[in-house]
Amino acid sequence: MPQPTPHPLTARWRSEFPGLERSVYMNTCSLGQLSRRSMDGMQRFQEQWLSYGASAWYELWLGEMADARARFARLINAQPHEIAILPSVGVALSVIGSSLHFSSPLRPFALQPARPEVVVTELDFPTIPYQWMARGEEGAELRLLASPDRVQVPLESFAQAIGPRTGLVATTHVLFTSGWVQDIAAISALAHAAGALCLVDGYQAAGQIPVDVVAAGVDVYISGGLKWLLGGPGIVFMYVREELIPQLHPTTTGWFAAKDMFKFNPERFEMAEDARRFEPGTPAVAAVYAANGGMAIIEEIGVQAIRARTAELDVDLIRRLRAAGLEPRIPADPARHAGIVMLPVENPPAVVTGLKERGIIIDYRPGALRLSPYFYNTEAENQALVDGIVEVVNG
């Protein structure tokens, strides 16, 4: 049967991602596809390492890092000096966590007087609650909000939980097991009205939906290369609101955080005035090159266009699943749904393996398959995925 012509955006960009020829890839929410641009960047990094040696640092690599900060800043409407480069969300949270000094007088101004409570939800990526559980000894008290339907957490739950003892609301922009787009502006307003700070994990958001940290009014926003930014592992970006930076004194730190790191002064530690104060040490430079390749593509296409195309593919996939008699667990309102389609099945790992044998790559989380088409996928791939699921599930 002749294949329909792919959407122009998809048709234009598919050849940039050679991995799409090897499988039906529906797993961007775990790991975005590798682009030719990122491969070229990493090749350039290797050439520079070979020909410059250590001087590549001063002559080239610090500049590449500055590019990465600027690109990410543009994507979320921030300023480059508000962006720190870190290896993972876990490390970024550790650095911020170490700045809050729950049980010491060093607390940032925003958290005076003592506010031990951290509000998170049960649908946040577990790294978020783990961070504050691990800081129980330091005085952090976790408040875990429940979800009534495993899709979302009502805004009223935040409103009821946030109060005078709340120091921080730490939650997610797009939820990793439902694709629900939380109203981070409303959550941040609730936090601020109570005198608390608001941190958002945007790993499943930046790249695939528009992000405006100024309009949302959040204090900290973290995202990284792995998924929708098409930049691969080893790099995350952390935005810290300009006015907050001087109030935070992380104890998880190192020489990159020093105001003048190349002074190598062991007697005096003056912290950088910009977000570099949250960077403990040498980054994975290859990852910076890969991330710049991915973000260049996102910028060139434009996040609005990516959002429109991905939403179209989501709606198409949901329609095809339903037509096949399957029942995805998704947000009712498409405007609050982005990129991730959950499909409850009996034995998710077995279905994932069965699909892999058929050349279809997806993922699962407890109790459900996780499907995530991106702008480079086609409607024909959506159908191949649905047919594959039906075949595997029916044995």
Contact criterion met (CB below 8 Å) for 89 and 307: no
Q: Which of 64, 117, 201, 219 binds ligand PLP (CB under 6 A)?
A: 201
236 binds ligand PLP (CB under 6 A): yes
90 binds ligand PLP, rule: CB under 6 A = yes
13 binds ligand PLP (CB under 6 A): no
Q: What token pair was written down for 359?
A: 């050349």
Spatial contact of 182 and 150, defined as CB atoms under 8 Å apart: no
For ligand PLP, give the closer residue by CB, 30 or 383. 30
116/348 with CB nearer ligand PLP:
348
**Does residue 121 belong to the site contacting ligand PLP (CB under 6 A)?**
no
What span, in angstroms and rounded, lies between the C-alpha atoms of 151 and 126?
16
Token digits of residue 77: 């409407």
Whether omega for the bond prior to residue 113 falls within 30 degrees of 0, making it cis, is yes
3-state secondary structure 130-159: HHHHHCHHHCCEEEEECCCCCCCCCHHHHH
Cβ 203 vs Cβ 196: under 8 Å = no
- Out of 203, 228, 237, 376, point to the residue binding ligand PLP (CB under 6 A): 203
Total number of residues that touch ligand PLP (CB under 6 A)? 13
Nearer to ligand PLP, 13 or 132 (CB): 132
Q: How far is the CB of 173 from ligand PLP (least distance, A)?
A: 8
DSSP label at 236?
A: E
374 binds ligand PLP (CB under 6 A): no
| Window contacting ligand PLP (CB under 6 A); options: 42-50, 82-90, 273-281, 312-320 | 82-90
Report H helices in the chain: 8-13, 36-52, 55-56, 62-76, 89-100, 127-134, 155-161, 184-193, 213-216, 285-301, 303-323, 348-357, 379-393
**Neighbouring C-beta atoms of residue 43, cutoff 10 Å:** 11
CB 227 within 8 A of CB 339: no
What SS3 class is residue 294? helix
**172 counts as binding ligand PLP under rule CB under 6 A:** yes
Using rule CB under 6 A, residue 132 touches ligand PLP: no
Residue placing its CB nearer to ligand PLP in the complex, 203 or 375: 203
Return d(Cα 42, Cα 39) in angstroms, integer.
5
Given 13, 17, 61, 125, the residue binding ligand PLP (CB under 6 A): 125
By beta-carbon proximity to ligand PLP, the closer residue of 130 and 256 is 130
* CB nearer to ligand PLP: pick between 102 and 176: 176
Tokens of 274: 């910009």
Query: One symbol per residue from 206 to 225: x for binding ligand PLP (CB under 6 A), - otherwise; what is it?
Result: ------------------x-
Asked if residue 147 binds ligand PLP (CB under 6 A), the reply is: no
Residue 202 vs 388, nearer CB to ligand PLP = 202
Q: Is 89 in the site for ligand PLP (CB under 6 A)?
A: yes
Tell me which stretch binds ligand PLP (CB under 6 A): 36-44, 84-92, 100-108, 244-252. Answer: 84-92
Query: Could you list the residues that contact ligand PLP (CB under 6 A)?
Result: 88-90, 125, 127, 172, 176, 201, 203-204, 224, 226, 236
